[in-house]
Structure 1
Amino acid sequence: MEKEYRLAKREDFSKVYRYGKSVANHQFVLYYLPQPKLEHFRFGVSVSKKVGNAVVRNRLRRMMKEIVRLNKERMAPHYDYILLARKPVVEMPYAEMEKSLWHVVRKASLLKKNDSSKK
């Protein structure tokens, strides 16, 4: 993920958690906060220690970031996003994880308006 698309600072994460809204399914929780001054979106990932050891958590983090990186044109701009992984995501193959992630984004109505492709 390119630097301008990253949400990295602790204060930014705290702001999204505190003032943002959330949407969830069984595998993911998506927190989002409008940022009208941004011309694109910023994206952060969080995976709890409850999900697995460091190897498992880092693998999930990489997969989640890659799904968003490959489809970043589908994401609505002017938002900060934080994606949390839940335990059931550990056993999921990549394709199912991708489908579940886009389900939670669609549930929050955060796909770009001109994106009509359903995955």
Structure 2
Amino acid sequence: MRKQQRIKKNEDFQQVFKHGTSFANRQFVVYIYPKKNQTELRLGLSVSKKLGNAVKRNEIKRYVRQAIFELQSELKANVDYVIIARAGATDLNFHETKKSLQHILRIAKCLPKVRNEVK
């Protein structure tokens, strides 16, 4: 994920919070704000100091960025996503983080539903 795809400014975060829609599970809250004149998705992350020291917070952010990078081809391109980590996110490894984000993005209808294949 390139740095141009990250939301950094407070005004951008506030715009997504004010005008976007939110979806939540036990580990994450996701705000979604579609933008018409945007060509690629942008991602903002928020991990509170209450969740742990800097090492743990950075680990959570790395896991979320990598999960979004892997799901990027399936996500809508003209959307701003802000992901807020909750206390449940501190105990997850990468695969659990990705699974949790897929779950919440499916609820938000940003990812296609999984079809059960018969083997």
TM-score by length of 2: 0.89
Q: Secondary structure at the match of 1:74?
A: coil
Q: Residues of 1 paired with 2:90 and 2:45: CA distance?
A: 15
Residue of structure 1 equivalent to 2:85: 85
Residue of structure 2 equivalent to 1:38: 38
Residue of structure 2 equivalent to 1:66: 66
Residue of structure 2 equivalent to 1:107: 107
TM-score by length of 1: 0.89
> Structure 1: 5+ residue runs without aligned partners?
none
RMSD (Å) for aligned C-alpha atoms: 1.4
Q: Secondary structure at the match of 2:46?
A: strand
Give a deviation string over 1:22-71, Cα, whole Å, max 9, x none.
Answer: 00000000001110111121111110111111111111011111111122
> Structure 2: 5+ residue runs without aligned partners?
none
Residue of structure 2 equivalent to 1:53: 53
Query: Which segments of structure 1 move beyond 3 Å, counting only runs of 4 or more?
Result: 115-118
Q: Residues of 2 paired with 1:6 and 1:13: CA distance?
A: 11
Asked if the contact 2:63/2:94 (under 8 Å) is kept, the reply is yes
The total of aligned residue pairs comes to 115
Q: Share of identical aligned residues, percent? A: 37
Asked if the contact 2:47/2:85 (under 8 Å) is kept, the reply is yes
Residue of structure 1 equivalent to 2:15: 15
Larger Rg over CA atoms: 2
